[in-house]
Amino acid sequence: MLVRTRHTPSQGGLSATARRRNVTGAFAVRKGMADSARGARVLMVDDVFTTGVTVGLCATALQRAGAAEIDVITLTRVVRPTLL
């Protein structure tokens, strides 16, 4: 249902701010799918959740197209170590 509108470099090693800048405007609802998105319940599958920026921007594109509900399944979560 979504399409990448432009090439983006790898997100690896980027801060949350740099990740957002890297993928802002990079996803849109595929041409001809807007009617399918309107009122739909959409399930997104993300392979790796680091900051949530990519999933968030994809969800925003779906919301703008009128999706009624968006759920996300993530296969892997990056956990940053914290200082004690």
pLDDT tens profile 21-76: 999 999 999 999 989 999 999 999 999 888 899 999 999 999 999 999 999 999 99
Q: Which residues of 10-26 are buried (b: 16+ CB within 10 A; e: fewer)?
A: eeeebeeeebbeebeeb
Q: Which two three-digit tokens encode residue 58?
A: 């994809």
* Domain contains 23: yes
* Domain contains 25: yes
pLDDT at 84 exceeding the cut of 70: no
Residues 18, 54: contact at Cβ < 8 Å?
no
* Domain contains 82: no
The residue range of the domain holding 58 is 2-6+16-77
Among 62, 76, 4, CA closest to 34? 62
Residues 44, 72: contact at Cβ < 8 Å?
yes
Residue 4 has what pLDDT?
A: 94
Position 83 confidence tier, pLDDT thresholds 50, 70, 90: low
* Domain contains 84: no
pLDDT at 80 exceeding the cut of 70: yes
This model's pTM is above 0.85: no
Give the span between the Cα atoms of 41 and 79, in whole angstroms.
Answer: 29
